[in-house]
Structure 1
Amino acid sequence: MSPGPGTPPRTPLRFGYGTNGLTDLRLDDALALLADLGYDGVGLTLDHMHLDPLAADLPARTRRVARRLDTLGLGVTVETGARYVLDPRRKHGPSLLDPDPDDRVRRTGLLVRAVEVAAELGAHAVHCFSGTTPPGTDTDTAWKRLADSLDPVLDAAARAGVPLAVEPEPGHLLATLAGFHRLRGILGDPAPLGLTLDIGHCQCLEPLPPADCVRAAGPWLRHVQIEDMRRGVHEHLPFGEGEIDFPPVLEALAATGYQGLTVVELPRHSHAGPHHAATSLPFLRAAAGDPADHPGDPLATPRREPQP
C-alpha cells in the first residue's frame, strides 16, 4: 500500500531467520537455504555446530563465513543464546550474574569475542541477555553484577562500532522493557547499549500490547526477534499458532525507521527448521503488506541464486 499524501515513507523491513532454529543443518547449508528462500539475513547464534566461539581457528572460520554471507547477499546479527556453549551441564551457564567472579568473566569474555566476530562479519548488532538471578542473590547485587560484567563488552562494542543489543527475557533479571531502562540508568546510558526486542516476549508478559511496545522501544531498537506467542506462556510458536496480531506490529516497526534485521526465533523447532523457514517468510511479507515475490512452494522457487 502506498503512503498517503504527507505521510513519510515506511522503512522496508528486512527479515531473517535464526540459526538456533536450524541446528540440524550445517551452517553453509542453512545460509544457502535462507538465501534461496529470499531472506535478507540471518540471526547467527555462536554455538558448537555453527561458528563455535571457542574453536582455536575461530578467526579463520569467521573470515570464511564473512565471505559466504557476502556471496549470498545476507545480512547478519550475532546472537549469543547458545544453551551449553560454555558449560555442558548448566543451560546458559555461566551467566553475567553468577556468584563466582571467574564464571562471570567467562561469560563476559564470550560476549567480547562475539563483538569481535560481529565486526569481522559486518553484523549490525550483537545480542545478549542478563541471565537468571542466582538463588540467594539480592536484586541490587544482581543488577550491579550485570552492569559491571557488561562494562568490558560495551567498551569492545564502542571500539568495534557494533551495538550491543540486550534482550529482555522472561524469567531473567532483565525481563521487561522497564528492566532495560533500569540498566541504561545504572550504566549512564552508554552509546553502544541498545535493545533486542522479542515480539513474542511482549505478548507474553509486557503490560503494553506488542505494537505499543515497538513504538515505546523505537529509539533503542538495535535488533528484533519475532515469533508467535500466547499471553503468560513463554513458548515460541510458529506464526498463526499464538495470539499476536502481526500487521499492526510490523506497521509500527516500519514506522520507527528500524533498519536492522527482524529475525524469526524458533529455537525449539529445528526438527522441522527448513519447513518453518519456508513458511515464515511469506507469512511475514503478507503481514507487512509485501507479498512474496513467488507464489507457491517457496522451497521450490528460490528468489536469488548464490553467486559463484
Structure 2
Amino acid sequence: MSQTPRLAPNPGSHPLRFGYGTNGLTDLRLDDALALLADLGYDGVGLTLDHMHLDPLAPDLAARTRKVARRLDALGLGVTVETGARYVLDPRRKHGPSLLDPDPEDRARRVDLLVRAVRVAADLGAHAVHCFSGITPDGTEEDTAWKRLAEALDPVLKAATEAGVPLAVEPEPGHLLATLADFHRLRATLGDPDALGLTLDIGHCQCLEPLSPADCVRAAAPWLRHVQIEDMRRGVHEHLPFGDGEIDFPPVLEALAATGYQALTVVELPRHSHAGPHFAGRSLPFLHRAARAIPKGLEGTAP
C-alpha cells in the first residue's frame, strides 16, 4: 500500500531538501549510513537497492523493507529509491541486463527489479523510483531500442500507478535516453502517463545539454520527480565533488526552489564511496551555502 511521502523538516529558510546517495556510501552498513546522514543534518537519502543495502533479490524483502521504513521514520529521513546498482542482477556485466537487451528474458529480469523497487518505494513512503534506459546494444536499430524501452516500461508504469509512486526516468550520457529531448520522446511514445516523471541529474545537464543547468531545471519542472546533484565539466561524464567542476550552483538551487520542487535533491558521488563519510560531510555545508542566495519565501507551485 502506498504511503504519504515523508518530507523531513528543513532547518533552513529555503524550501529545498537535500539527501545523499547510498551508492556513495557502499563501504557502510545501511543502518550506519542512515545514521551518518541524519547526524550530518541531511533531510533524506537516495537509497540504491543493492546487495549491501536492502538487497532486492534476497529473501524476506518485505520484512526487511519494513525495518528500514521504521529506521527512516525514527531518523526523520525522507527517501527516494534508486535502481542504479552496478552488478545487482549480473555479477559480470555493469548495469546488465538492461531494458534494451535483445533477449526478452534478460529484459524481464530488469523489469522485475523495477517492479520490486516500486513495491519497496511504496512501503518506504518514497518520493519516487529512479531508473534509466540502458545503453543500446551493439547491432540494435535505434527504433527497435525505443520500442523495447516503451514495452519494458509498460508493466513498471502500471505498478507505479497502482502504488501511487512516480517512476522517474533519468537521462544518462551514453544511454539510449540521454537527454531531456529523449525523455520527451519516451513520454510522447507512452502517451504521457501520469506515473511517468523525470530524474534530472544536474551534472548531466552541464555535461551535454544545450541549456544551462538552471534553464534545464526550469524546462523540466512539470515532470520533475527526483533530482541528483554533483559537480561536472562540459563534455566529460565524471561525477565530481562540489567545487571541482564548472557548475554555478546558486542559480540551479534558486531555479529548483522557484519551481516548487519539494522532493529530495540527492548528492550523487558513487565513485567517491571509498571516502563517503568525508564527502557527505563536505557536501551539505556547500549546498546550504549555495542555497543562502535563494530569496526568503521563494516558493512556486509543485508540478
Which TM bucket (shorter chain)? over 0.9
Q: Verify the 8 A CA contact 1:129 1:169 in the aligned structure 2.
A: yes
Please point out which of 120, 124, 129 is paired with 1:126: 129
Aligned-partner Cα distance in 2 for 1:236–1:11: 25
Shift of 1:11: 6.4
Q: Aligned pair 1:37/2:44, yes or no?
A: no
**2:203 aligned partner:** 200
Aligned-partner Cα distance in 1 for 2:54–2:293: 32
**Per the alignment, in what secondary structure is the counterpart of residue 283 of structure 1?**
helix
Aligned-partner Cα distance in 2 for 1:137–1:256: 38
Please point out which of 178, 181, 184 is paired with 1:178: 181
In structure 1, runs of 5+ residues without a counterpart are 1-9, 292-308
TM-score, with structure 1 as normaliser: 0.91
Aligned-partner Cα distance in 2 for 1:47–1:290: 36
Aligned-partner Cα distance in 2 for 1:50–1:121: 14
Please point out which of 91, 97, 102 is paired with 2:100: 97
Q: Verify the 8 A CA contact 1:11 1:257 in the aligned structure 2.
A: no
**Per the alignment, in what secondary structure is the counterpart of residue 82 of structure 1?**
coil
Aligned-partner Cα distance in 2 for 1:109–1:186: 22
Q: Verify the 8 A CA contact 1:11 1:255 in the aligned structure 2.
A: no
TM-score, with structure 2 as normaliser: 0.92
* CA spacing shift, 1:290–1:56, aligned 2, 3 Å: farther
**2:299 aligned partner:** none
* CA spacing shift, 1:59–1:211, aligned 2, 3 Å: same
Q: Verify the 8 A CA contact 1:108 1:150 in the aligned structure 2.
A: yes
Shift of 1:57: 1.3
Aligned-partner Cα distance in 2 for 1:228–1:131: 22
Cα RMSD after superposing both structures: 1.1
Q: Aligned pair 1:68/2:74, yes or no?
A: no
Shift of 1:39: 0.3
Which amino acid in 2 is paired with 1:116?
Answer: R
Aligned-partner Cα distance in 2 for 1:75–1:11: 17
Identity %: 87
In structure 2, runs of 5+ residues without a counterpart are 1-12, 295-303
**2:165 aligned partner:** 162
**Per the alignment, in what secondary structure is the counterpart of residue 269 of structure 1?**
helix
Q: Radius of gyration: which is bigger?
A: 1
Q: Aligned pair 1:55/2:82, yes or no?
A: no
**1:273 aligned partner:** 276
Q: Aligned pair 1:112/2:119, yes or no?
A: no
Residue by residue over 1:175-220, the C-alpha shift from the partner in whole angstroms, topping out at 9 and shown as x without a partner, is: 0000000000000000000000000000000010100000000000
Q: Aligned pair 1:137/2:140, yes or no?
A: yes
**1:284 aligned partner:** 287
Shift of 1:223: 0.1
Q: Verify the 8 A CA contact 2:14 2:292 in the aligned structure 1.
A: no
**2:262 aligned partner:** 259
Q: Verify the 8 A CA contact 1:11 1:259 in the aligned structure 2.
A: no
- Equivalent residue pairs, number: 282
